[in-house]
Amino acid sequence: MSDAPAGVPAGEEARRDGLAAVSVAERSLSAEAAQWLSLALVTVAAVVADQITKHIVSSQLALDDEVVVIGPFSIHHVQNSGIAFGLFPNATVVVIVLTTVAVAWMLLFFARAGARHPVLPVALGLLLGGSISNLADRVRMGHVTDFLDIRYWPAFNLADISIVVGVVLLVGTMLAGEGSPRRRHGASTLRS
């Protein structure tokens, strides 16, 4: 027998009780307008920043020219037909296809889980922005312009930084979410 008032289904009473726990299954994790807007703003900012800096370097420095900034750090105009840090330099078509699939997967994931954590639009926005910016260069020119050089590491660009920071935020968010064990809905807290 239910404790719900007469005429109110038992489940309905729980939904009206503001102190009752909401089951994870009842809460939608799909991205809503605010999350999509945040994702779009971060993505566009990452693309614009990367494209502007690549344009400045390409228009001011000849290919392979270098300007030492401080210590081992320099602005060094290089072209990269591979993926991040020069990996797979002769696989431009494969990189384009894989990047396109990855971008589509990220958008699908975000559509289904964008409300899962407030950092998700920023993390995926950075990943998408960096991926889209480098993808646009590969499709348009067959390579990307890299220019940040620290001598002991292959040259990179702002898109690469966006991708790495996005991955770090995403992994950090996922690990932080796994840190506290969740109780299953309906599980008893008292042991006999």
Tell me the pLDDT of the chain averaged across its residues: 83
Which residues are identified as catalytic? 146, 160
For Cα atoms 167, 171, 172, give the angle at the middle one, nearest 5 degrees: 115
Four-residue CA torsion sign, 95, 98, 100, 102: negative
Q: Does residue 21 sit within a domain?
A: no
SS3 6: coil
Range of the domain at 144: 31-173
Dig out the tokens for 10 from the structure.
Answer: 């038992």
Convert the pLDDT of each residue in 3-57 to its tens digit: 555 655 555 554 555 555 555 555 678 888 888 999 999 999 999 999 999 999 9
Task: Indicate the DSSP class of residue 48.
Answer: H
Q: Does residue 45 sit within a domain?
A: yes
Q: Does residue 185 sit within a domain?
A: no
Q: Does residue 152 sit within a domain?
A: yes
Q: Does residue 25 sit within a domain?
A: no
Q: Does residue 26 sit within a domain?
A: no
Dig out the tokens for 187 from the structure.
Answer: 């599980």
Total domains in the fold of the chain: 1
- pTM of the model as a whole: 0.75
Q: Does residue 13 sit within a domain?
A: no
Q: Does residue 19 sit within a domain?
A: no
Convert the pLDDT of each residue in 109-143 to its tens digit: 888 887 788 899 999 999 999 999 999 999 999 89
